[in-house]
Amino acid sequence: MRKVMISALMLVVLFALAGCGGNEAADSGGVKSGEVTIQMKNMKFSPAKVTVKKGTKVTFVNKDVILHDVVQVAVKDYGKMEPGFESKEVQSAGTWSITMDKVGEFPIICTQAAHFTAGMVGVITVVE
């Protein structure tokens, strides 16, 4: 069920990401390594776009009073990728971490109450 839903959502995500083009504030800039924090705040991932080195630990911190989550959405061009990752519900003030140990581009959305439709989308790019 969720896979069907997520496939249908990809267009929304791609449009949303395209809409972020030229928005400097949405992109953290540069290649990060070690540990990186992405805030879940005001119904957005911040930064929404981040590029990290393989092996970087990415921690999502929920700064809102509502639940959020992190679900990697598959892109058909990335058919060789492992199945997407998916967090549990992240409570207010809670965190969830993942170590990005595969190179690629990983679009993410928040599926809580369809927050992705409000622009809660992002992309983590992992490089060697």
Residues in contact with Cu ion by CB under 5 A are 68, 110, 112, 115, 120
Q: How far is the CB of 40 from Cu ion (least distance, A)?
A: 6
Whose Cβ is closer to Cu ion: residue 49's or residue 115's?
A: 115
- What residues have CB less than 8 Å from 80, skipping those under 6 apart? none
Q: How far is the CB of 88 from Cu ion (least distance, A)?
A: 13
Question: Which residue has the CB atom at the shortest distance from Cu ion?
Answer: 110
Distance in angstroms (rounded) separating the CA atoms of residues 1 and 116: 17
Whose Cβ is closer to Cu ion: residue 51's or residue 112's?
A: 112
Which residue from 110, 38, 107 is spatially nearest to 67, judged by alpha carbons? 110
Q: How far is the CB of 70 from Cu ion (least distance, A)?
A: 9
Whose Cβ is closer to Cu ion: residue 58's or residue 110's?
A: 110
- What residues have CB less than 8 Å from 93, skipping those under 6 apart? 62, 63
Pull the structure tokens for residue 98: 């993942």
